[in-house]
Amino acid sequence: MEVKETYNGTIREVTLGVGDKAVVVGGETALSFYTFEGVMPRKPVIAFDVYDEEPADWPAPVVEPYKDVLGDPVKWALKCQNEYGADMICLQLVSTNPTGTNRGAEEAAQTVKAVADAIDIPMIVYGTANVEKDTEVLAKAAEAAQGKNVLMGPIEEDNYKTIAAAALGFQQAGATHSPIDVNMAKQLNILATQLGLNADRIIIDPTTGALGYGLEYVYSVMERLRLAALTQNDSMTQMPIINTIGKEVWKAKEVKVSTEEEPAWGDAETRGIIWEAMTAIALLMAGSDILVMRHPKAVELTRDFMALMA
Amino acid sequence: MALTGIDIFKLLPKTNCQECGVPTCLAFAMKLAAGQAELSSCPHLSDDAKAALGEASAPPIRLVTMGSGDDAFKAGGELVMFRHDKTFFNPCGYALLIDDTSGASEIDGKLKQVNESHFVRVEQDLKADMVAVKCSSGKPETFVEIIEKVKAATSLPLILMSDNPEVIHAGMAVNGEAPLIYGANKDNYEKMADLAKTHKTALAVISDNGIDGLNDLVPKIEALGVKDLVLDPGYRNPKETLQSLVYMRRGALVKKIKAFGYPTIAFPVEETSDEMMETLLAGLYTCKYGSIIVVGNLKPQYALPLYVLRQNIYTDPQRPMQVKQGIYPIGTPNENSPVLVTTNFSLTYFIVTGEVEGSRVPAWMLIQDVEGLSVMTAWAAGKFVPEKIAPFIKGSGIEEKVKHRKLVIPGYLSQMSGELDDELEGWKVEVGPREAADLPAFLKAWSA
Ligand code: SF4
């Protein structure tokens, strides 16, 4: 009875960070957690969201764990590293958003440097997906984090020339971001590699949708990317995948509404934790290698899940 | 592989007599090909056609119906490994486990969970599908008592769980409807098969060594004449359960192993004692090939995310979820509140209304039916264009709700604002932000 699938491709291994705490992601030779027919050499990693300014719109369950550090990205990052055992930090430069605080690139880069110097785990640096502003901000950030081997993104089709070049110039890795589309993801990887960024310095950000808010689209795009990578040996899909889950989940209505406002939905904190962990589990099965998350309990559950599956 | 609808059609009588309950032979052929009809529904087949179609028209995974009426639950009938290949057809079902040795208050609490974990989202009913009653007492009278209690509280189909045929026999006597017997193992399968046949009930087949055991046991039970089976590879750890579910789905669909051509059952409730983890494992089997998923808790904070995951995974990728056309008040808007228009693609609707809600600025959302397309796609398809939007706004009744006449359109449609201005008499068109995330700032600055 032969029911095993054979695969002919492998996901690239990408190293992020430096020193003892550097992480490697990728390396799968089968669909994720299909260890019965291929190798998953390591578990996916979890990065904690850290904002470079006090977040305005986080609901209570995710404010609570960080309430003593929310305005201070360095302390915040250290708390994630030391108390919650984060594999990585995802520093989100939200303060640079032109429709918000609109902080300048120089100032944002100082935060990047301060956080990078304070922690010893690897760092992800994310802009606000504002194509023009990110060009400036991420170029400076790449310089500020030189020597730290960070992952920077999102690199878009409209600004890859500058941002991928900055990643290349300062020896950082880049997250290529495309709008939930297999071909556009491939196309952007082709462009970035043609520019000189090595394929093993690229992570795919396929655009994450939370449970109930487009999860099914990213789920299927990731399955299709993985099948192309593993069964068709399609080089430009063989990068590890990152999913920015926290940011999407914690703005969903079902997560924001309090227990009092909607008693029929049950305890709000548990509901939010499950919403985040459930989004994580579905995307892990679809091929995620780096999950960016928020609630420490959701992270713990996701880790417990991976331990059960290993 | 199974024949195509056209292959099957060639072998049908082509008289369109409708006795199969379908308007034409062609339609019947299509249904057969999709595994949604039984060959025996056509009484006019030639023997040759029967022989040719018999094997080929059997769906690769049998569709098994449990219960009847509105609460009937259908499992199986799947045709693909990955939802992007077509779609997953029959949403998995969640069964809440009730143990007959539990105290009365615990049982009442569970029954309450079954009845209260009921939500409506994108006009779909999200709810539990079955109740599993497990005989841990070993006593038929206790089992019967609990079954009666459950039946008094819910009309959902039941799964009766015991490995003792006598206990199942007693349970079936009070059950009445066609539920699922759980189940047949290598020691009791003959008696269990008898019970399933007598009561016209589906039967779960329980392996003691994964898919090999099923491959051995299923043909024996089929030979006894039981048609509606549900398969349990028998592991109680997620790693091996996942492996078995993947192998069974692939075995049935790709490798044509007939013994695996049935719906599956998984037991997160027996794989962990932590209710959070249980919910996540139920999510795992929702993604990966569980047909019936038995859990020990359906409190709303767990049930809602689980049901929404099922809704996502089982959405047809070719036909996105849609919301109804109409006026949606967000917060408690008044005659001076902003008016925004967008399409009825559920994702657009969710994201836009989510941002509007988050802004805490009460507003009127006008949702136009464009067959579930996103803003840009609907525009490109000529469905979300000035000539269509204007009559929708005029006919929506919004003019009775607001005093002002300012309409906010999605930022991506800025190029049509002039034309819509002309088309929409008495209104002034304003271009909103391109990204939904920028709506709160936009709304806070907006004034009538
Ligand atoms: S019953 Fe048979 S012959 Fe009559 S319409 Fe249906 S398929 Fe055709």
pLDDT the model gives residue B221: 97
Q: Which residues of A touch B250 (CB under 8 A)?
A: 3, 5
* Domains, chain A, with CATH or none: 14-309 (3.20.20.20)
User: Domain locations in chain B?
Assistant: 5-57, 64-313, 326-447
Structure tokens at A282: 């579905």
What integer best gives the mean pLDDT of chain A?
96
Atom number, ligand 1, closest to the C-alpha of residue B28: 7
Q: Is the pLDDT of residue B1 over 50?
A: no
Query: Residue B42 Cα, ligand 1 centroid: separation in angstroms?
Result: 5
Q: Is the pLDDT of residue B2 over 70?
A: no
User: Are A301 and B317 within 8 A, CB to CB?
Assistant: no
pLDDT the model gives residue A220: 96
Among residues of chain B, what percentage have pLDDT more than 90?
72
> Looking at the domain B326-447, which fold is it?
Rossmann fold (3.40.50)
Q: Which residues of A touch B231 (CB under 8 A)?
A: none
Q: Is the pLDDT of residue B252 over 60?
A: yes
pLDDT the model gives residue B176: 67
Mean pLDDT value across residues B238-243: 98
Structure tokens at A195: 């520019």
**C-beta contacts of B256-259 below 8 A and 24+ residues apart:** B256/B1, B256/B60, B257/A1, B257/A3, B257/B215, B258/B219, B259/B214, B259/B215, B259/B218, B259/B219, B259/B222
Question: Could you tell me if B65 and B76 are in contact, meaning their C-beta atoms sit under 8 angstroms apart?
Answer: no
Mean pLDDT value across residues B405-423: 92
Find which of A281, A285, A293 to mutate to test the B interface (most B CBs within 10 Å of its CB). Answer: A281
Closest Cβ opposite residue B84 in set A34, A224, A267? A224
Residue minimizing CA distance to atom 4 of ligand 1:
B17
User: Are B302 and A273 within 8 A, CB to CB?
Assistant: no
pLDDT the model gives residue B121: 87
What integer best gives the mean pLDDT of chain B?
92
CATH architecture of B64-313: Alpha-Beta Barrel (3.20)
Q: Which has the higher per-residue pLDDT, B249 or B374?
A: B249
Indicate if ipTM > 0.95: yes
Let me know the angle formed at the C-alpha of B92 by A306 and B301, rounded to the nearest 5 degrees: 65
User: Are B312 and A251 within 8 A, CB to CB?
Assistant: no
Say which residues have a Cβ less than 8 Å from residue A117's Cβ, sequence separation at least 6. Answer: none
Q: What is the pLDDT of residues B155-194, one digit of tens each?
A: 999 999 999 999 999 999 887 666 899 999 999 999 999 9
HSE, CB side, 13 Å, CA atoms: give it for residue A195: 24
Atom number, ligand 1, closest to the C-alpha of residue B21: 6
DSSP B187: T
Atom number, ligand 1, closest to the C-alpha of residue B45: 2
User: Are A213 and B354 within 8 A, CB to CB?
Assistant: yes
Does the domain at B5-57 match CATH 1.10.15.40? Answer given as yes
Residue of A nearest to B316 (CA): A216
In 3D, which of B328, B35, B95 has the Cα closest to residue B232?
B95
Q: Is the pLDDT of residue A184 over 50?
A: yes
Q: What is the pLDDT of residues A86-103, one digit of tens each?
A: 999 999 999 999 888 999
